Amino acid sequence: MNREARESFAAFVAARSGSLVRTAYVLAGDQHAAEDLLQSALAKTAARWGRVRENPEGYVRRAMYNEQVTRWRRRRRESAVAELPEPAAAGPDVDLRVTLQRALLALPPRKRAVLVLRYYEDLPEREVAEIMGCSVGTVRSQTHRALARLRELAPDLAAHLEPTGSRR
């Protein structure tokens, strides 16, 4: 990678890393795993910077999604910890977030990813379909099924899961 390419890649990382690490966190469910996931995706992006320079964020998102799916497939077991973490501060927003996080983690990987990309990242169905390598119809059906499953897993969230409008 030449000097100009290194500088443009560094500028991209500096400008977009905050947003990308938040997306990685929602996909991975853990801060350290999210940082690893983003680092892996950025390494792949740097290696192909000359070809992905026009849409690097889309490439990084897709790389994170693909890497996380691979991780989900490899690791289908629980991990034990030596001591429990301290409880978070209580409150309606905190309780709602915890409920949502648990419900999301209970979803299969593709359903979780489609909800993250559609609603957390606020991407249109077409872009989600490109990232996930499927059709727009598949994104719609996966979104519908994932929301229905979230309603089953966490009835307290039902009022918050009603779509307010759809961008295409």
Per-residue pLDDT of the chain (168 residues; tens, 9 = 90+): 789 989 999 999 999 999 999 999 988 888 999 999 999 999 999 999 989 888 899 999 999 999 988 887 776 555 666 776 666 555 567 778 888 888 888 999 889 999 989 988 889 999 999 988 999 999 999 999 999 998 888 887 777 666 555 444
Rounded distance between C-alpha atoms, residue 157 and residue 146, angstroms: 13
Please state, in angstroms and as integers, the Cα–Cα distance from residue 12 to each residue in 53, 72, 120, 156, following that order: 9, 28, 21, 39
| Cα 134 to Cα 3, 53, 58, 140, distances in angstroms | 36, 23, 15, 11
Do 49 and 96 lie in a common domain? no
State the pTM of this model.
0.53
In whole angstroms, how large is the CA radius of gyration of the chain? 17
Q: Are residues 97 and 56 in the same domain?
A: no
> Has residue 84 been placed in a domain?
no
What pLDDT, on the 0 to 100 scale, is given for residue 168? 47
The token pair at 144 is 């519908």
In a domain, 135, yes or no: yes
8 and 54 co-located in one domain: yes
Helices (H) and strands (E) in the chain, counts: 8, 0
Q: CATH number of the domain at 138, please.
A: 1.10.10.10
Same domain for 102 and 58, yes or no, is: no
Q: Give the number of domains in the chain.
A: 2
Do both 97 and 150 map to the same domain? yes
Query: Of 74, 100, 115, which residue constitutes the final position of a domain?
Result: 74
Owning domain of residue 7: 3-74
> Is there a single domain that holds both residue 10 and residue 58?
yes
Provide the CB-side half-sphere exposure for 167 (13 A, CA): 10
Q: Mark whether 10 and 60 lie in a shared domain.
A: yes
